[in-house]
Amino acid sequence: MTELSTNQDFIDLEDKVAAHNYSPLPVVVEHAEGIWVTDVEGRRYLDALSGYSALNFGHRHPALVKAAKDQLDKSTLTSRAFHNDQLGPFCAALGELVGKDMILPMNTGAEAVETALKIARKWGYLVKGVAHDRAEIIVMDGNFHGRTTTIISFSDDPEARDHYGPYTQGFVSVPYGDLAAIEAAIHENTVAVLVEPIQGEQGVKIPKEGFLPGLRELCTDTNVLLIADEIQAGLGRVGTTLACQYEGVEADIYTLGKALGGGIVPVSAVAADADVMSVITPGTHGSTFGGNPLAAAVGKAVCDLLATGEHQQNAATLEGQLRDSLEALIGHGVSEVRVRGLWAGVDIDPELMTGKAACKGLASKGVLAKDTHGSTIRLAPPLTITAEELTIITDALAEVIAEARQG
């Protein structure tokens, strides 16, 4: 193989041998630490995406790297055919962190959602008394919960859904944030409502204040489980441990992932109280790698970081600065911004440029971000970022927009 040295060398090779299921920016990361990454040509960038919140604590956080290295010297995988000394402490720490009795560990976020759907359906049959194979789950328009066949069956994104049928039945979709529509859709066979407290893939779409508390009350009154997908929104991103907690709401089931693996290993989990989780019994669900010692050790270290409240507080503290800086751009090339904690969706005027063009402009100024849905960009820097470093992101965006307006 010819020696690879430039960004383009690596991009050309990847284009030849790897499936084209992504369209990344032309940056090839070689080294990463904290909020910064460096490409193969030595250029440094501030990571304002954080791996879609998988890197909430930045790249190679010392405490997380130490937990992984220590565990690598002991054991990495046992399968759940045997016990291991890391699983119990991890589940206990995560349960305490999110206020739930029991944890079912998996690997990816999509697996966690699939598991939650199975739990809800089985609960519906065994506890609520829904007729066999009649269980129905309400989901939201514009949702994004993963890429499996079941999950894309209730997606309304044609890129994610088209040409993958036939699709899984048992789901009904209603407008996001519309409490009346959810109430109208609930009937005797409804077992759960699945909701993202904030829709990340939609460009950090935040429901109106009062929606989540109203949904909690509705689910309680109708004996329907509330499943909160906290995979992107949770674990400190919005300034609280869970996004539901921003309005004082407790879901029946949480799906967790991304940041739970500390950016080192894939770790996901379903969290619920025993009266719900008890429908899972030996042999009815499983995963070869779910709950493995390495993942559990890293996951517990993540829980320990969040238990201090430091990272949640930093996100809450910097929320105002991020909002003020972005709102100053409204009417000057930006049409709308949505901010919660250290998470922002920025709608660029589509007549000015696309979101992808804005992200390319940011990359040219040493900031990495991601576009979505045409003219929207998402900002989600690590929760370890400082106020001064946050200014680098917003100043760069202001420059990109000003240069585009000038022609």
List per-residue pLDDT tens for the chain, 407 residues long: 679 999 999 999 999 999 999 999 999 999 999 999 999 999 999 999 999 999 999 999 999 999 999 999 999 999 999 999 999 999 999 999 999 999 999 999 999 999 999 999 999 999 999 999 999 999 999 999 999 999 999 999 999 999 999 999 999 999 999 999 999 999 999 999 999 999 999 999 999 999 999 999 999 999 999 999 999 999 999 999 999 999 999 999 999 999 999 999 999 999 999 999 999 999 999 999 999 999 999 999 999 999 999 999 999 999 999 999 999 999 999 999 999 999 999 999 999 999 999 999 999 999 999 999 899 999 999 999 999 999 999 999 999 999 999 97
The CA distance from 232 to 76, in Å, is: 26
Active-site entry in 47, 229, 349, 371: 229
Copy the structure tokens of residue 141: 């328009």
Element (H, E) at 370: strand 370-372
**3-state DSSP of 246-270:** HHCCCCCEEEECHHHHCCCCCCEEE
**Angle of helix 310-327 versus helix 387-406 axis, rounded to 10:** 20
CB 170 within 8 A of CB 151: no
Copy the structure tokens of residue 182: 């959810």
Which residue from 274, 119, 118, 120 is spatially nearest to 193, judged by alpha carbons?
Answer: 120
Residue 1, pLDDT score: 65
Residue 16 annotated among the catalytic residues of the structure: no
The CA distance from 103 to 120, in Å, is: 15
Active-site entry in 57, 90, 144, 289: 144
Q: Are strands 36-39 and 29-33 parallel, antiparallel or unpaired?
A: antiparallel
Half-sphere exposure of 53 (CA within 13 A, CB side): 27
pTM score, two decimals?
0.97
The CA distance from 4 to 41, in Å, is: 11
Active-site entry in 122, 205, 258, 370: 258
| Residue for token pair 């976020």 | 109
Residue 2, pLDDT score: 79
Residue 407, pLDDT score: 77
Residue 32, pLDDT score: 98
End-to-end CA distance of the chain: 43
Residue 154 annotated among the catalytic residues of the structure: no
Which residue from 56, 34, 57 is spatially nearest to 45, judged by alpha carbons?
Answer: 34
Residue 128 annotated among the catalytic residues of the structure: no
